[in-house]
Amino acid sequence: MGLLEISNLCARVKEGKDILKGVDLVIEEGEVHAIMGKNGSGKSTLCQVLAGREVYEVTQGQVIFNGKDLLKMSPEERAREGMFLGFQYPVEIPGVSTSYFLKAAVNETRKHHGLKELSAVEFLKLIHEKMAMFGMDKSFMNRAINEGFSGGEKKRNEVFQMAVINPLLGLLDETDSGLDIDALKTVAAGVNKIHRSDSKKAILLVTHYQRLLNYIVPDKVHVMIDGRIIKSGGKELALVLEERGYDWVENEVAAK
Amino acid sequence: MPTSTKTIEQMAGQEYKWGWTIDIEADEAPFGLNEEIIRFISHKKAEPEWLLEWRLKAFRHWLTMKEPRWAKATYPAIDYQGIKYYSAPKPKLKSLDEVDPELLKVYEKLGVPVHERAALAGVETEGGTEGETGGGIAVDAVFDSVSVTTTFQKKLADLGIVFCGFSEAVKKHPELVRKYLGTVVPYSDNFFATLNSAVFTDGSFAYIPKGVKCPMELSTYFRINAKNTGQFERTLIVADEGASVSYLEGCTAPRRDENQLHAAVVELVALDGATIKYSTVQNWYPGDPRSGKGGIYNFVTKRGKAFTNSKITWTQVETGSAITWKYPSCILQGDNSVGEFYSVALTHHYQQADTGTKMIHIGKNTRSTIVSKGISAGFGQNTYRGLVKVMPRAENARNYTQCDSLLLGDKCGAHTSPHIEVRNKTGRVEHEASTSKIGEDQLFYCKTRGISLEDAINMIVSGFCKEVFRELPMEFAVEAQKLLGVSLEGSVG
d(CA B140, CA B159): 18
| Phi, psi of B154, deg, nearest 5 | -70, -45
Nearest chain A residue to B463 by CA: give it. A95
Q: How many CA atoms lie within 13 A of B316 on its CB side?
A: 28
What distance in Å separates residue A205's CA from the closest CA in chain B?
Answer: 17
Mean pLDDT over residues B190-205, rounded? 91
Checking if the pLDDT of B258 tops 90, the result is no
**Domain range annotation of chain B:** 2-85+134-488
Give CA–CA dist B278/B275, Å, rounded.
10
Section B268-289 average pLDDT: 89
Q: How far is A255 from chain B (nearest CA, A)?
A: 41
Q: pLDDT-based confidence at B253, cuts 50/70/90?
A: low
B81 interfacial to chain A (CB closer than 8 Å): no
Asked whether the beta carbons of B245 and B206 are under 8 A apart, the reply is yes
Contact state of B452 with A108 under an 8 Å Cβ cutoff = yes
Find which of A74, A101, A102, A142 to mutate to test the B interface (most B CBs within 10 Å of its CB).
A101
Residues 6+ apart with CB under 8 A from B325: B71, B73, B192, B297, B298, B299, B300, B354, B355
Global confidence as pTM:
0.80
**Beta partners for residue B404, in sequence order:** B373, B434
Contacts of B441 in chain A (CB under 8 A): 91
Arithmetic mean of pLDDT, B289-316: 90
Contact between chains at A165 and B450 (C-beta distance less than 8 A): yes
| Terminal CA-CA length for chain A | 31
**Residue B291 Cα distances to A11, B15, B93, B350, B490, angstroms:** 38, 13, 41, 8, 16
Q: Which residue in the set A54, A79, A112 is minimally distant from B449, CB to CB?
A: A79
Number of domains in chain A: 1
Q: B440-447 and B453-469 are packed helices; what angle lies between their axes, rounded to 10 degrees?
A: 110
Q: What is the pLDDT of residue B95?
A: 41
Contact flag A54-B444 (C-beta cutoff 8 Å): yes
Residue B483 pLDDT level (bands cut at 50, 70, 90): confident
Residue in A with minimal Cα distance to B434: A94
Spell B110-119 as b/e; 16+ CB within 10 A means b.
Answer: bebeeebbbb
Q: Indicate the residue of A52, A53, A93 with minimum beta-carbon distance to B442.
A: A93
Amino acid (1-letter code) at residue B427? G
Angle at B361 between CA B355 and CA B366, to 5 degrees: 115
d(CA A207, CA A202): 16
Report whether pLDDT(B134) > 50: no
Range of the domain at A163: 4-255
Residue B437's CB: how many other CB atoms inside 10 A?
18
Does residue B140 have a pLDDT over 80? no
CA B224 to chain centre: 14
- Report chain A residues whose CB lies below 8 A from the CB of B453: 76
Residue contact B450–A79, C-beta within 8 A: yes
Residues A79, B3: C-beta atoms closer than 8 Å: no
**Distance of residue B476 Cα from the nearest chain A Cα, in angstroms:** 20
Q: What is the predicted ipTM?
A: 0.96
Angle between helices B191-199 and B49-63 (to 10 degrees): 150
List of chain A residues whose C-beta atoms are within 8 Å of the C-beta of residue B446: 93, 101
> Which of A185-199, A236-250, B47-61, B217-231 has the highest average model confidence (pLDDT)?
B47-61
Neighbouring C-beta atoms of residue A115, cutoff 10 Å: 11
Chain-centroid distance, C-alpha A235 = 18
What confidence tier does B116 reach under pLDDT thresholds 50, 70, 90? very low
Question: Which of these ranges, B4-13, B72-81, B244-253, has the smallest mean pLDDT?
Answer: B4-13
Inspect the interface and report whether the beta carbons of B3 and A14 lie closer than 8 Å.
Answer: yes
Q: Give me the CATH number covering residue A128.
A: 3.40.50.300
**Which residues numbered 386-445 in B keep a CB inside 8 Å of some CB on A?**
436, 439-442, 444-445
If one compares B221 and A230, the residue with the highest pLDDT of the two is A230
The tally of CA atoms less than 13 A away on the side-chain side of residue B69 is: 6
Q: Which of residues 129-168 of A touch B (CB under 8 A)?
A: 144, 161, 165
Q: Rounded to an integer, what distance in angstroms lies between the CA atom of residue A136 and that of residue B422?
A: 46
Q: What is the pLDDT along chain A (256 residues), one digit of tens a residue?
A: 689 999 999 999 988 899 999 999 999 999 999 999 988 899 999 999 999 999 999 999 999 999 999 999 999 999 999 999 999 999 999 889 999 999 999 999 999 999 999 998 999 999 999 998 888 888 888 889 999 888 888 999 999 999 999 999 999 999 988 888 888 998 999 999 999 988 899 999 999 888 899 999 999 999 999 999 999 999 999 999 888 888 888 888 877 7
Nearest chain B CA: its distance from A239 CA (Å):
32
Residues 435-474 of B with CB under 8 A from A: 436, 439-442, 444-453, 455, 459-460, 462-466
H helix and E strand count, chain A: 8, 12
Say how many C-beta atoms besides its own lie within 10 A of residue A217's C-beta.
12
Cα torsion angle, A69, A70, A71, A76, sign: positive
Residues of chain B found within 8 Å of residue A51, distances taken between Cβ atoms: 444, 448
DSSP state of B369: E
Alpha helices in B45-190, H assignment, sequence order: 49-63, 101-110, 114-120, 127-133, 153-157, 166-172, 174-180
| B284 contacts: CB under 8 Å, gap ≥ 6 | B224, B251, B252, B253, B262, B295, B296, B298, B320, B321
Residue A124, classified by CB atoms within 10 Å of its CB into exposed (0-12), middle (13-18) or buried (19+), is middle
Higher pLDDT: B239 or B256? It is: B239
